Amino acid sequence: MQVRFCMIAVFGMAFLAVSTQADEETTRALAAIKSISREGKGNEDAGPAWKSLVSKGGEALIPALEAFEDSNPTAANWLRTAIAAICDGEKVAGRKLPVDKLEAFATNTKNPASARSVAFELLASQDATAKGRLLPGFINDKSADLRRQAIELQVEKAEKAGGPDLKNELQKIYTYTRDKDQIELLAKKLADLGVQVNVAEQFGFVTHFALIGPFDSTEGKGFAKNYPPETAKDTSAAFQGKADAKVIWKLCETTDKYGEFDLNKLLDKHKDAVAYALAVIVAEKETPCDIRVGSPNSVQIFLNGKKLAEREEYHHGSPLDANIGKGTLAKGENVIVLKVCQNNQTEPWAQTWGFQLRVCDATGGPLSGIMQKLAENGKQIKLGYIPESALSKEKK
Amino acid sequence: MSRFIACVLIAITPVLAIAGDWSQFKGPNGSGVSTDKNLPTEWSKDKGIKWKTPLPARGVSSPVVAANKVYITCSSGVRDDRLHVLCFDATTGKQLWHRQLQGTGGTACHPKTCMASNTPVADETGVYALFATADLAAFDADGTLRWYRSLVGDYPTITNQVGMASSPVLVKDRLIVPMDNAGESFIAAVDTKYGKNLWKVERPRDINWVTPLVREVQGKTEVLFSGANGLIAYDAANGDKRWSYKSGVGSIPTAALDGDALYLPVAGVSKVKLSESGVVGEPEWKTAGLQNGMSSPLVYGGRVYAANGQGFISCGDAKTGKQLYKERVKGAFSASPIAGDGKVYCFTETGICTVLKADSDEFEILATNDLGEEIMGTPAIANGLIFIRTDKAVYAIGK
């Protein structure tokens, strides 16, 4: 118990150093909440700390927001509920929330995105002008919620203004979109104005892959087995696949705007099987990235031979971005490998075997200075590249 | 000093649901049956409503009622990752508090469901809310956060892209948390005070929407939980497996327990007898015509009721399994039938409630009531009222 108290005190002192507004009790309370770890460790202290924080009322509001960390969602949820309770208390007491401080917090992009979103919502509940004044500044925000609201508002404003600038305005707004529904909406609005956009580029889908397989996955064991393509650097080698059959890389591309690859068509139908997809991505400089995958099958994501993410789940849907691997592209060539496992379910709805993969920034947006190098000719293409002829066909 | 006395009083107050409460999924031990009298028969959008309070978002979880408070969960946002827990005064419908969490697990799911799909469980001290994102929170009755856990933070491989819906149940001072999924699958008991694991038992890696049942036997409390590998009875004290029954496979509906009889929603409904050591012999009967889909069977007044996704309401004799009727109404059922005061209430997804006369071998409709809003969660019966949560509001039906 003493050790735990000391740790909290140390955290508390560290936090005090960066927070000028919190008193000692608030600082201790926040430190206790931020100290929570796995399986409820620290909950004994966090409960009383939560009450202490809430008892401070409005003065604890900004310190509580400052204590958010995007990397600690557990603590953020403790804080989120404390902020709601503080606001309830202030309302009952007839006190107004500190709108100036909330605005300063929400507009300071150095603060965690999740906390800024909470601050903005509180501000907007007190100040009817806040949305109109501040949202335009959030159109390229790290916070998905603030960005989304900003896009909604800007589209509304652009359409209300109308005129010859509408096309340009919508094109500009489109570049900031991240959510699928907003990307689709803007793409349609632009199409209605005669502007064809390639949504695959906005998402950053990889549209060219080298595929290889099948490898054996009887009883689902292939998921845990490390086959050689996981550390492949190029597509030159041949391997022994399922039933000792020789397998070689096959170059494939898709013109699907969501970058979908159907392995049943491209590699033939196989059950109890593993396939790999490989793409070479070229970065102008070292670049943090998300590698996001949707698939109805079990998947593993590798970047330069290092596993970034995995999910062992079959035929429960294929939502966009369900699997996110966070990595850093090295300057120069990088090898992305995706492992896609198929099981042996026999139901008609359990036959799909495929994937979509995109490379994007942490907000889901396109990365700059990133190209794909094609295995067949070394030519570099933009992520999401779909030939004009295929885009035109879709338009028709 | 007064605070000290208050703390002592709280500490010695038994942590139990009050008789007449509807504190968990399908009410008292998941039976779906209330002992309340003078329950309403007829209502509409404009008639028979004691109060109506808007909800901030959709949910397919049920309302629960404890110590004159109604608790409801919702989820919202384009990613459906904004989780809400709300508390209302059961008498007036006044919203007492509203807390929100950010979902920390995946939010992929079948379009019919959402992240507010697991029904919370409550007692007079507060509410325990589990979401399909595997976020778990305990709030005191006044909205104080008692504890919170991100189960995906604790066990990162938890995944179910169809969406989770099994509901937690309370066994005295422990919360039983069912977490069958395609990743790290388990059932656990956590202490209600701090939310820490008391025990955690590995389960099959498969998705499952069944809610555990609880029974007392020879001084032991058993947690009965059906899943991909059958029905397993766990000792609530330590998680030890006491017995199992392979044919008690479960995936969506929850069985009905009535004394020593267990009605399993497997290929219709089958009835088995329970002894201290588990299921006795072969099923007493199996009736394929008692079809369940999303909803769970109801045992009331010596009859078994089932409602399915094609709009069929079936009824059978609980003793013999003989099918008494199978009639179709307009709509589909996701909510489970509930009963009380001699009536059986069946709610379609579009908000129509068919009220049946329970003491009858015939399909006798007492009333058909249309609220005109989506009803996916099983309503609650408490305080002589029926509490219905739609996608837009919570209603207290009755006087």
pLDDT at B272: 98
| CB-CB under 8 Å, B99 with A77 | no
pLDDT at B7: 39
Task: Quick: pLDDT tens for A352-369.
Answer: 999 999 999 999 999 999
CA separation for the pair A280, A227 (Å, rounded): 19
Closest C-alpha among B148, B227, B132 to residue B190: B148
pLDDT at A17: 44
B372 backbone φψ class: left, alpha, beta (φ>0; ψ -120 to 50): left
pLDDT at A362: 96
Mean pLDDT for A195-202 is 96
CA separation for the pair B130, B83 (Å, rounded): 10
Compute φ and ψ for B299, nearest 5 degrees.
-115, 120
Shortest Cα–Cα distance, B231 to chain A (Å): 23
Closest C-alpha among A339, A346, A306 to residue A323: A339
| Set of chain A residues whose Cβ sits within 8 Å of the Cβ of B146 | 47
| Set of chain B residues whose Cβ sits within 8 Å of the Cβ of A319 | 108, 161
Mutate to test the interface with B, among A39, A41, A324 (most CBs of B within 10 A): A39
Mean pLDDT for A58-66 is 97
Mean pLDDT for A58-87 is 96
| CB-CB under 8 Å, A316 with B160 | yes
CA separation for the pair B264, B306 (Å, rounded): 11
A204 backbone φψ class: left, alpha, beta (φ>0; ψ -120 to 50): left
Whole-complex ipTM: 0.93
pLDDT at B19: 53
| Set of chain B residues whose Cβ sits within 8 Å of the Cβ of A179 | 78
* Token pair for B174: 């422990």
pLDDT at B2: 44
Chain-centroid distance of CA A203 in Å reads 11
Mean pLDDT for A85-90 is 98
Distances (CA, A) of A368 to A287, B68, B123, B251: 9, 57, 54, 46
pTM, two decimal places = 0.92
Mean pLDDT for A230-255 is 95
Instruction: Give me the sign of the Cα torsion angle A151, A153, A159, A165.
Output: negative
Asked if the model's pLDDT at residue A128 lies above 80, the reply is yes
CA separation for the pair A375, A248 (Å, rounded): 13
pLDDT at B8: 37
Counting as low any pLDDT under 70, the low residues of chain B are: 1-19
Find the helix or strand (DSSP H, E) in which A352 lies. Answer: none
pLDDT at B18: 53
| Set of chain A residues whose Cβ sits within 8 Å of the Cβ of B112 | none
Burial A302-323 (b: 16+ CB within 10 A, else e): bbbeeebbbbbbbbbbbeebbb
Domain limits of chain B?
A: 2-397
Which of A85, A114, A145 has the CB atom closest to B143's CB atom?
A85
pLDDT at A391: 80
Mean pLDDT for A276-299 is 98
CA separation for the pair B130, B118 (Å, rounded): 6
**Domain B2-397 fold:** Methylamine Dehydrogenase; Chain H (2.130.10)
Kindly calculate the radius of gyration of chain A based on its CA atoms and give it in whole angstroms. 25
pLDDT at A389: 79
Residues 6+ apart with CB under 8 A from B284: B261, B271, B272, B273, B321
| Set of chain B residues whose Cβ sits within 8 Å of the Cβ of A44 | 194
pLDDT at A388: 83
Three-class SS of residue A350?
Answer: helix
Task: Quick: pLDDT tens for A303-352.
Answer: 999 999 999 999 999 999 999 999 999 999 999 999 999 999 999 999 99
pLDDT at B20: 79
Instruction: Grade residue A394 by pLDDT with cuts at 50, 70 and 90.
Output: low
Burial of residue A393 (CB within 10 Å: 0-12, 13-18, 19+) is: exposed
| CB-CB under 8 Å, B146 with A316 | no
CA separation for the pair B338, B295 (Å, rounded): 11
* Token pair for B364: 């006798």
